[in-house]
Amino acid sequence: MEFFELCEKISKVYDVKQHLQEVLATLPQGVRLVAVSKFHPCEQILEAYACGQRIFGESHEQEIRQKHQQLPADIEWHFIGHLQTNKVKYIVPYISTIQSVDSLRLLREIDKQAARCGRCINVLLELHIAAEATKYGLTTDALHQLLDDGEWRQMEHVRICGLMMMASLTDDQEQIAREFQQAADLFDEVKARYFADDDTFCERSWGMSDDYPIALRHGSTMVRIGTTIFGPRVY
Ligand SMILES: *Cc1c(COP(=O)(O)O)cnc(C)c1O
């Protein structure tokens, strides 16, 4: 079966509105939802949009570019995937937030490209806390190094709004809880040390379809949920 045919079939049987509303009902006040729409067609995004959802997350440059062109202009796009520095210039003209900043080099490039188009981009620093070796992100040491270095203080076109992380892909709920708590503790430490007087540093982006109830118990202010809202992805 053709890819789009398959997508259409799935979107017809999957009730996006109902699932979105179920997720929203479980979120405490002040917690924002990033609806992760990667690999899902525009029709499904529009269903969520029709319910008032405005923040959508994507992780591939070409895919987000196409969707951004086709969908309403008031959507707040968040980039949540691994971002190569040579792709930054393509997303900076319209992206609201880049959640996956994991090096000074990338931060520098975002600042440079945002300056070129007269924008200021919200960014989150991505932590590597999970046990898996394959995940991107900054270790605790690398995070401190980046912030101690201080170059970011001179960047006028990025706004560091908080931290993002993914927990390990495991059934061990206690391990997941430990990892979220580790991220929450690190957030408090970083907040006190570098951003004590900066109210924009406030976001703790953790929690996905399978683990967001745990994330909410460990300080999450922003959950990134795909599968529960849109159904399984067809890769
Ligand atoms: C895909 C993705 C999500 C959403 O995952 P689901 O399990 O579908 O909710 C969240 N965060 C990141 C960084 C992702 O890449």
9: confidence class by pLDDT, cuts 50, 70, 90: low
The whole-angstrom distance between residue 129's C-alpha and the CA centroid of its chain comes to 16
Question: From the centroid of its chain, how far is CA 79?
Answer: 6
Which protein residues are within 6 Å of ligand 1, measured from CB? Answer: 36, 38, 59, 80-81, 166, 208-210, 224-227
pLDDT at position 37 over 60: yes
What 3-state DSSP class applies to 233? coil
Ligand 1 atom nearest the C-alpha of 38 is 1
Calpha distance 93→63 (Å, rounded): 15
Do the beta carbons of residue 223 and residue 216 sit within 8 Å?
A: yes
The pair of structure tokens assigned to 76 is 């707040």
Average pLDDT, integer, range 36-65: 97
Phi and psi of 79, rounded to 5°? -95, 125
Report pLDDT digits (tens) over 217-230. 999 999 999 999 99
What's the pLDDT tens digit per position in 103-119?
A: 999 999 999 999 999 99
pLDDT band, very low/low/confident/very high, at 10 (cuts 50, 70, 90) = low
The rounded distance, in Å, linking the Cα atoms of 179 and 175 is 6
CA of 24 to the centre of ligand 1 (A): 17
Q: How far is the CA of 210 from the centre of ligand 1 (A)?
A: 9
Which of 34, 6, 17 has its CA nearest to residue 204?
Answer: 34
Residue 154 has pLDDT above 90, yes or no: yes
